[in-house]
Amino acid sequence: MDAAYNLARWLVRDDHDAQDVVQDAYLRALRFAGGFRGGDPRAWILAIVRNTAFTWLKRNRGSNSPAEFDESLHHGDIADAGLEADAVRGADAAMIRDTLNELSEEFREVIVMRDIEGLSYKEIADAADLPIGTVMSRLARARGRLAKSIKERVSKEST
Amino acid sequence: VNCDDARILLHGHLDGELDVVRDLEIERHLEECPRCAREFATLRAMRARLKDETFRFEAPAELKEKIRRALPQAPLRANGYLSRRRGFVPRAIQFAIPLAIGAMLALFIAPRAIRPNENDIVAREVVASHVRSMMGSHLMDVASTDQHTVKPWFNGKLDFSPPVTDFAKEGFPLVGGRLDYIDDRPVAALVYQHGKHVINVFMWPSTGTATSAERIQPEQGYHVEQLMVAGMNCWVVSDLNQPELKTFAELIRAHG
């Protein structure tokens, strides 16, 4: 359940709302237990949590919504962010969290599932309803953007 | 591999998701290309940072409690859900539905429900119990990595004393224990961890003939090992891959 809450919390970015989403997701999971087609039950539960969270986001989308998600591949996303490994190691955790929160949900969720939750590409594909071939390229862009934003913040702080 | 391709494949390399051939290609590219190598170092540092527990939100206890109460604890108790629908549902299905609701138990079982033997039935109970322990957040009654805390905890709660050993050194730390109910009797459940995988070990004194170590068919993604330890039935369940679970089962046998 920690995995479910963690994902919901990162997606809706609020403790109370995340709790509602997880509870709603578990109830749905029970109701639609018949829809389970075998495979990894964790990915299945996370898929429901994710869908519930996205529905919630659509309904409550405020003015401070993060960057629009763009599926097309921009070369800049995966180009050198020019961020040094040492800068990452020294970066403030709260700053990294803010930066991650500014990514679009589609980017945020793959980073959360892979880097924080430790899911395999196959599990991410199942949970996020992506073709497995898309998982790596989306992660590449998501991490590229994260690196770029961290870089921007780091250089802003040092000036 | 050129840099453009490498920029995406770096991630698969980092995550250990590439096939061997691709992996070697990327490794070679990283040796030759300082820019990609630098990018890779940054990615690795980023991933290491994000792995830190500070970035992982833990579900609040109140939420776990709320959901645990909403989840049916066992298939039979789920009967209540049905009462208002009786009359609409044919008798045969009436029996199947509570099972389906019961902690999503039936869906792990249904495809194989034809003429189960006794071991199969226990295997399913064990898997169902494992799944329930993961979903219902009732994973542990006693949370401790100390075998000298966990073992005495069972005193007075069970009419036997299960062997409890911590395998932290071997990569399978003991994290706790709880009481469970399998095969119509209270049993000891020990909880171990391996990476992010949880392993449940169920133990109770053997009554029937000693069935030697036997591998049970995987139940919908879960692997089950059965063995005899110090005169006890011992069932090991996890979503861990089969070879690693086997290694763990051998550890238990060796220390039983």
What are the strands of the beta sheet with B232-238, ordered from one edge?
A: B142-143, B174-182, B185-194, B197-205, B232-238, B222-229, B214-219
Interface ipTM above 0.90: no
At residue B223 the predicted structure's pLDDT band, cuts being 50, 70 and 90, is confident
B162 to chain A nearest CA, in Å?
28
- A87-123 confidence digits (pLDDT tens): 999 999 999 999 999 999 999 999 999 999 999 999 9
Q: Which of A37-41, B64-68, B165-169 has the highest mean pLDDT?
A: B165-169
Lowest pLDDT segment from A153-157, B36-40, B116-120: B116-120
At residue B226 the predicted structure's pLDDT band, cuts being 50, 70 and 90, is confident
CB atoms within 10 A of CB B34: 9
| Single-letter residue type at B239 | D
* Contact: A116, B11; criterion CB under 8 Å: no
* Contact: B35, A80; criterion CB under 8 Å: yes
Q: CA-CA distance, A157 to B84, in Å (whole number)?
A: 63
Beta carbon pairs, A and B, within 8 Å: 145
Q: What is the pLDDT of residue A63?
A: 47
Q: What is the pLDDT of residue A42?
A: 81
* Contact: A23, B63; criterion CB under 8 Å: yes
A100's tokens:
């991650």
* Contact: B104, A115; criterion CB under 8 Å: no
DSSP code of residue B174 = E
Q: What is the pLDDT of residue B17?
A: 93
Lowest pLDDT segment from A18-22, A38-42, B52-56, B165-169: A38-42
Report the residue from A5, A84, A120 with minimal CB separation from B57: A5
> Which candidate in A1, A13, A73, A130 is best for mutational testing of the B interface (most B CBs within 10 A)?
A1
Interface of B with A in 178-217 (CB under 8 A): 195-196
A148 Cβ contact list (under 8 Å, min separation 6): A81, A83
At residue B127 the predicted structure's pLDDT band, cuts being 50, 70 and 90, is confident
Q: What is the pLDDT of residue B86?
A: 41
User: What would the 3-class secondary structure string for A32-86 be?
Assistant: CHHHCCCCCHHHHHHHHHHHHHHHHHHHHCCCCCCCCCCCCCCHHHHCCCCCCHH
Tell me the average pLDDT across B158-163: 87
Lowest pLDDT segment from A2-6, B33-37, B141-145, B200-204: B141-145
Q: CA-CA distance, B47 to B41, in Å (whole number)?
A: 10
Residue B107 pLDDT exceeds 70: no
Report the residue from B8, B54, B57 with minimal CB separation from A140: B8
Tell me the average pLDDT across B7-28: 93
Report the residue from B46, B54, B64 with minimal CB separation from A147: B46
- A46-88 confidence digits (pLDDT tens): 999 999 999 999 888 764 555 556 655 555 566 677 788 899 9
Residue B70 pLDDT exceeds 80: no
Residue A143 pLDDT exceeds 60: yes
Average pLDDT, chain B: 78
* Contact: A26, B71; criterion CB under 8 Å: yes
SS3 state of residue B86:
strand
At residue B96 the predicted structure's pLDDT band, cuts being 50, 70 and 90, is very low
Contact between A7 and A113 (Cβ < 8 Å): yes
Q: What is the pLDDT of residue B211?
A: 53
* B contacts of A15 (beta carbons < 8 Å): 57, 60
Q: What is the pLDDT of residue B85?
A: 42
Lowest pLDDT segment from A50-64, A94-108, B8-22, B36-50: A50-64
Q: What is the pLDDT of residue A102?
A: 93
